Homo-oligomer: A and B are copies of this chain.
């Protein structure tokens, strides 16, 4: 199959994509976490892009949605326009924020952690009997190394004699500060690649980067194989503690996944593992510990202290990560047991530590992390939202994967979008939010979350959805898709219990926001910007989030999606040693607020469960 190159402007981010893919798919592949409100069905018209070069005939849905004039000017729908040749695409303002973050192109200076120095050694002779190591060290001393550092790790020293002889006494030293981290035979200075990893509880994403230019060469991702041992953080901590070799198996699983992703990324980019010298890692505190092979057990019990929060640089070999032998792993610092390096990376990417204005950053998940602040003060907490946002423990719930209803529209009739198109199989968190928000607006459910009986619904326009009101296992429910519409022949619905589940989840998040505002001493109106990070935050409908009170309603106009900001933070920390140090500063600067011990937390939480 043919494939073509798509270049996105501004930013110049490039990606290769098979013929017949849509521009939306190319954006996904390039790591641009854009928002497709209708799920890419060509319905909402929100994904307008401008084709600057290349491009073919518009599809039928494009002709429907776009004006003749727009089509003349090269405006197309990213979700519908197919790629049949090399193409340059201009992203609209609305998406630029995402791509700039996604491609790590907020202002930063490339300052590689590692430095390569090519040296040609004198050959040993009877007049020059220095040991191989001494010869190497002395020669480097003339090239900026002080030559007094400690010897190489033994594993590298063992390779020195044969490598230097096979390469005709020409070596490239890889320096980490003053220390020799390793060496390649010959002159390898032309290339130095790295990978930034965001290890999520569910998904691991890796970005392949050129450490010299900062250019992104590819994005790879996989399901975190630890899901096989437990879906969430707590079940994995339990597994690590109870099962034989539990910690070791979890550790090995994530290391194996990282090694596979490195292989996949370099293969796609036509490079090799040996060209990868640095890896940065962000993760929540539990995933961080499991990645390092450190028991996370104490993260799960009060007072929830991590084994280590400080930034950590580890030899790749120490973690059995198969990259260049000189390779280093740069692990970002944690803040607390449930506010990990991923949150630090989000703060780094969004530069809250340099913001004059008060920003609120929310990463919604089973454990939602919330941070609030400016350059002068940042407070952060973790809210135990539970699994509702992930679609778990919801009657028709599922993850935000193919077949999930991710958005619901209450127009003349009920409409919804399904991830990947096709018939629905269930509903994911963003769809649940839209549904409950819509039912609230229509007065079908009340402030306490109760689905009202038909006779109590005051809003007559709500009655057009009366056929959707039904019962399931003895409780009220709202039908989204009848059995005949779905992919598995079972109806997809929202039950009263599902709404209760969502209330607990949003209540926890909203209470977290409220407590942080109290601790900080501000009102919602003082917040200038709300940044939603992470996969879920990127897909939810801001209006729905405000409607149900997940986010204070007065902030609706200030919400921005920042895509995978944790991944962006990981990239920044990989490309710039200053940004890596800055991550440590951020982790040390943030005040952690333990919600469970906040005096009024229980009453705030109870209040926040109402809509």
By the criterion CB–CB under 8 Å, are B151 and A297 in contact?
no
Chain B residue with the shortest CB-CB distance to A161: B307
Interface residues of A in 121-165 (CB under 8 A from B): 124-126, 129-135, 150-151, 153-154, 157-158, 160-162, 165
> Please, which residues of chain B bring their CB within 8 A of the CB of A411?
none
By the criterion CB–CB under 8 Å, are B126 and A297 in contact?
no
Question: In the docked arrangement, what's the CA distance between A295 and B153, Å?
Answer: 15
By the criterion CB–CB under 8 Å, are B129 and A305 in contact?
yes
> Please, which residues of chain B bring their CB within 8 A of the CB of A312?
151
Chain B residue with the shortest CB-CB distance to A160: B307
> Please, which residues of chain B bring their CB within 8 A of the CB of A23?
none
Pick from B124, B125, B305, B313: contact of A132, CB below 8 A: B305
> Please, which residues of chain B bring their CB within 8 A of the CB of A292?
154, 157-158
By the criterion CB–CB under 8 Å, are A131 and B319 in contact?
no
By the criterion CB–CB under 8 Å, are A161 and B592 in contact?
no
> Please, which residues of chain B bring their CB within 8 A of the CB of A302?
126
By the criterion CB–CB under 8 Å, are B306 and A126 in contact?
no
By the criterion CB–CB under 8 Å, are B298 and A132 in contact?
yes
User: Is residue A318 contacting chain B, with contact meaning CB distance below 8 A?
Assistant: yes
Binary flags per residue of A281-318, CB closer than 8 Å to B gives 1, else 0: 00000000000111101100011111111101110001
Chain B residue with the shortest CB-CB distance to A318: B154
Question: In the docked arrangement, what's the CA distance between A590 and B303, Å?
Answer: 60
**A592-B129 contact, Cβ under 8 Å, with A134-B309, A294-B161:** yes
User: Is residue A336 contacting chain B, with contact meaning CB distance below 8 A?
Assistant: yes
Question: In the docked arrangement, what's the CA distance between A314 and B158, Å?
Answer: 13
**A157-B308 contact, Cβ under 8 Å, with A162-B295, A303-B124:** yes
User: Is residue A334 contacting chain B, with contact meaning CB distance below 8 A?
Assistant: yes
User: Is residue A459 contacting chain B, with contact meaning CB distance below 8 A?
Assistant: no
Question: In the docked arrangement, what's the CA distance between A125 and B294, Å?
Answer: 21
> Please, which residues of chain B bring their CB within 8 A of the CB of A304?
129
By the criterion CB–CB under 8 Å, are A134 and B294 in contact?
no
User: Is residue A523 contacting chain B, with contact meaning CB distance below 8 A?
Assistant: no
User: Is residue A597 contacting chain B, with contact meaning CB distance below 8 A?
Assistant: yes
Interface residues of A in 148-189 (CB under 8 A from B): 150-151, 153-154, 157-158, 160-162, 165
> Please, which residues of chain B bring their CB within 8 A of the CB of A158?
292-295, 307
By the criterion CB–CB under 8 Å, are A124 and B308 in contact?
no
Question: In the docked arrangement, what's the CA distance between A506 and B131, Å?
Answer: 30
Question: In the docked arrangement, what's the CA distance between A132 and B297, Å?
Answer: 12
Question: In the docked arrangement, what's the CA distance between A154 and B318, Å?
Answer: 8
How often does this chain occur in the complex, in copies? 2
By the criterion CB–CB under 8 Å, are A308 and B131 in contact?
yes
**A303-B129 contact, Cβ under 8 Å, with A154-B292, A161-B294, A295-B158:** yes
User: Is residue A594 contacting chain B, with contact meaning CB distance below 8 A?
Assistant: yes
**A597-B126 contact, Cβ under 8 Å, with A151-B308, A160-B307, A314-B154:** yes
> Please, which residues of chain B bring their CB within 8 A of the CB of A153?
318
Question: In the docked arrangement, what's the CA distance between A153 and B297, Å?
Answer: 20
By the criterion CB–CB under 8 Å, are B154 and A594 in contact?
no
Chain B residue with the shortest CB-CB distance to A597: B126
**A157-B294 contact, Cβ under 8 Å, with A129-B592, A131-B334, A310-B151:** yes
By the criterion CB–CB under 8 Å, are A310 and B131 in contact?
yes
By the criterion CB–CB under 8 Å, are B126 and A308 in contact?
no
Question: In the docked arrangement, what's the CA distance between A319 and B292, Å?
Answer: 21
Within the complex, the shortest CB–CB distance from A410 to chain B, in Å, comes to 45
Question: In the docked arrangement, what's the CA distance between A306 and B129, Å?
Answer: 8
Question: In the docked arrangement, what's the CA distance between A154 and B328, Å?
Answer: 13
Question: In the docked arrangement, what's the CA distance between A298 and B131, Å?
Answer: 10
Question: In the docked arrangement, what's the CA distance between A594 and B336, Å?
Answer: 62
Question: In the docked arrangement, what's the CA distance between A306 and B125, Å?
Answer: 12
Within the complex, the shortest CB–CB distance from A298 to chain B, in Å, comes to 5
Within the complex, the shortest CB–CB distance from A409 to chain B, in Å, comes to 45
> Please, which residues of chain B bring their CB within 8 A of the CB of A337?
129
By the criterion CB–CB under 8 Å, are A130 and B294 in contact?
no
Interface residues of A in 29-71 (CB under 8 A from B): none
By the criterion CB–CB under 8 Å, are A157 and B126 in contact?
no
> Please, which residues of chain B bring their CB within 8 A of the CB of A157?
292, 294, 307-308
A134, A297, A307, most chain B CB atoms within 10 A: A307
**Contacts A133-B307, A157-B294, A161-B307 given; 8 further ones with Cβ under 8 A?**
A124-B303, A126-B594, A129-B305, A151-B308, A158-B292, A161-B295, A161-B297, A165-B298
17 A-B pairs whose Cβ atoms sit less than 8 Å apart in the complex: A129-B304, A129-B592, A131-B305, A131-B308, A132-B308, A133-B308, A151-B308, A154-B292, A154-B294, A154-B314, A154-B318, A157-B294, A158-B294, A161-B294, A161-B297, A161-B307, A162-B295
The 4 closest A-B pairs by CB, nearest first: A131-B309, A133-B308, A124-B305, A131-B306
